[in-house]
Structure 1
Amino acid sequence: MVTMAQSPPSAERLRMIDGFLVEAWADLVRHDERLRPLSVEVRFDRGVAHLSGEVSDAGQLRLVRDVVGRLAGVYGVWCRVAVGGRAPVVVDLGCGGTKQWPGNLGLDIYPAPGVDAVADLSGSLPLADDSVDVFFAVHIMEHLIDFLPLFDECHRALRPGGVLHVMSPWWRHVNAVADPTHVRLLDVQTFKGICGQRPPGTPRWYPLHVGCDGASIFADLTPLGPDDPPPPAYHLARFFD
């Protein structure tokens, strides 16, 4: 029996979902005294929440991420928020000529306008330990035969509480196979293994949010330290089978 793949929402439906999310977030802010004093702007674009602004401490930022991520219709929570007066260090991996935000540090294997440093993403990243607040890996992982070393490098370079944002084609959508340079197929369940089933001693991740819109998969991951407990089963059950 052939099972039909999930169809991605139409552009019109995504526009309406974004409108719903704007109203839902405004209602949350009105009724949650923890959120009202925070200087964080939340913008929604095709189901992805884009956070900008400033907070006093990392706990406030985690709160906003968590609350936004619980809204139905949110596929990912992308963040560029200053904490305690310090602007975040944001790195776009494989950015080419396009960055997610102006001012991000762009790494790519090929030199191009907007590429700040040439780096082979299948090897070591030219970044110090604990030096990055946010990584964007948008349409990158599907081009790497083995992407786990890149995850490990991001884990090394991220500060505690930092986030790796991943976006890739969903394996059942035509975009996953239409590009002959794609060498890997990915699913939401791929991140279950990255977060919960890696061998002891390898870098581990906590999933802040994981979603699929029928065309792309999204994952927001934060590094776990060697002594941190694994993600609880009830949290993994939010995203994974």
Structure 2
Amino acid sequence: MVAMAQSAPSAERLRKVDGFLAEAWADLARHDERLRPLAVEVRFDRGVAHLSGEVAGPAELRLVRDLVGRLTGVFGVWCRVGVGGREPVVVDLGCGATKQWPGNLGLDIYPAPGVNAVADLSGSLPLADDSVDVFFAVHILEHLIDFLPLLDECHRVLRPGGVLHVMSPWWRHVNAVADPTHVRLLDVQTFKGICGQRPPGTPRWYPLHVGCDGASIFADLTPLAPDDPAPDPNHLARFFD
């Protein structure tokens, strides 16, 4: 028996969910004394939380990320927050003419108005170790036959505590197969393997948040150091079977 694909939520429902999330976050920020002094703005767009502003240290940013990500209806937590007076270095991978934020550094294999540097994303990235705070890989991984080398490069380039934001078509949605340039199908469970089932000695990731809205999958990953403990099974159970 062939399983029927689930439909994505309507634009109207997503708009109402965004309104619910905004109210829920405002209420939490009013009543949690840890959040009151923080200059972080949280905006919701189709279930994705967009964080901007500035915090004094990485622990404060992690706190906001974790609390926002616990709200029911949040599919991803995308972040552009300054830490300790330093603006984050944010890179859009395969951005073409459109970046997630105008000030991001854009990398793509083809020149375009939004591209700051031409780079083959299936090879080495022209970026130094520990030099980037945030990567966006929006509708990129599904175009790569083997995207693990790109993830390894992101792991190398991200600073400790940095985040890789992934968005790709969900394998059961028509968008995954309608584009003939898509060569990979992805699911939330794909990131279970990325975060826990790779060979010893390969870069490891911690899933900050993973979600699916019925059309796209989202994953917010932060690099683990070689001596960092594995993610807690209770945390992994939030996202993976």
TM-score, normalised by the number of residues in structure 2: 0.99
- Distance (Å, rounded) in 2 between the aligned partners of 1:232 and 1:28: 25
Partner secondary structure for residue 79 of structure 2:
strand
Deviation at 1:3, TM superposition (A): 1.9
Partner secondary structure for residue 68 of structure 1:
helix
Structure 1, unaligned runs of 5 or more: none
- Distance (Å, rounded) in 1 between the aligned partners of 2:146 and 2:167: 16
Moved over 3 A (4+): none
Partner secondary structure for residue 149 of structure 2:
helix
**Match in the other structure for 1:169:** 169
Task: Give per-residue Cα distances to partners, 1:116-143, cap 9 Å, x unaligned.
Answer: 0000000000000000000000000000
- The within-5 A match list for 1:182-193 is 182-193=182-193
- Distance (Å, rounded) in 2 between the aligned partners of 1:70 and 1:146: 31
Partner secondary structure for residue 96 of structure 1:
coil
Task: Give per-residue Cα distances to partners, 1:6-65, cap 9 Å, x unaligned.
Answer: 211000000000000000000000110000110000000000000000000000000000
How many residues are aligned here? 241
**Match in the other structure for 1:129:** 129
**Match in the other structure for 2:99:** 99
Structure 2, unaligned runs of 5 or more: none
What RMSD in Å do the two structures reach over aligned CA positions? 0.4
**Match in the other structure for 2:158:** 158
Deviation at 1:83, TM superposition (A): 0.1
- Distance (Å, rounded) in 2 between the aligned partners of 1:181 and 1:66: 35
Deviation at 1:84, TM superposition (A): 0.2
- The within-5 A match list for 1:2-151 is 2-151=2-151
- Distance (Å, rounded) in 2 between the aligned partners of 1:176 and 1:219: 16
Deviation at 1:198, TM superposition (A): 0.6
Deviation at 1:2, TM superposition (A): 2.5
Task: Give per-residue Cα distances to partners, 1:142-183, cap 9 Å, x unaligned.
Answer: 000000000000000000000000000000000000000000
* Corresponding letter in the other structure for 1:230: A
- Distance (Å, rounded) in 1 between the aligned partners of 2:208 and 2:112: 32
* Corresponding letter in the other structure for 1:77: V
